[in-house]
Amino acid sequence: MKISILCAVLLASSTLFAQSKKDLQNEVSRLKAETQALQLEIDELKKPIEVQLTNKHAKASYGLGVLVASNVRMQGGDSLSLDFMIEGIKDVFKNEPLLMQQQECSSIVQQYMQEAAEYKSTVARSEGERFLAENKNKEGVKTTASGLQYKVITAGNGKAPLVTDKVTVHYTGKLLDGSVFDSSVERGAPSTFGVTQVIAGWVEALQLMHEGDKWILFIPYNLAYGERAHSAQIPAYATLIFELELIKVN
């Protein structure tokens, strides 16, 4: 009798264990499936949103974003958090309670942008001075009394321009990090202008060149756009590098 009871208990326990194991396996499978589904959703959210400018509202909205961002970057606001900027915009547009009132926002932003611009200018000036100090000792680089540096790539033997002349040139302008901010070469058409209608570094270099010359110019900030940012691409105190080809003196 006792043996029969024991066998029954063992059989029941074995059945319950098998059932529990099966339930556990089913639960694991269910959780795996849910995890995979969530991962797919996360992957979809991570994909960049395709912006389609299909109407005037979309175009104006995107255009305003470009203008605001360009202006902020030009003033040195590269370190601002895009996420928090978007939250501030959302709170205003949705009429949500503001985390800071407008007067406080104005004061904080003004101080921040001033400090950011000063820091960016200090870095740009320091980097430019260090670059020019090293560059002047490189082979083939010549330095004029003004501080303009240049290197002859191709020597021409044509006419030299006067300050009263117009010239036709091809050029590519770069920052010290190699980024191109302007290029007639990329546009596929040379540019024509008066010798004195350009930055001081160009005015000096052009009068030293001859038709057919191709030089690399290394222009310190005081012979370029000076102490103020010229555009979103050219910051304050920027040392500029130009590949300049004098095609024709007009």
* Residues acting as catalytic residues: 171, 181-182, 199, 225, 242
Question: Look-up: residue for tokens 């940012």?
Answer: 229
Using DSSP bridges, classify how beta strands 180-183 and 166-174 pair: parallel, antiparallel or unpaired. antiparallel
Scanning the chain, the segments in alpha helix (DSSP H) are: 2-46, 56-74, 82-93, 102-135, 184-187, 200-208
d(CA 247, CA 171): 10
Q: How many other C-beta atoms lie within 10 A of the C-beta of residue 182? A: 17
d(CA 200, CA 29): 73
149, 238 Cβ separation under 8 angstroms: no
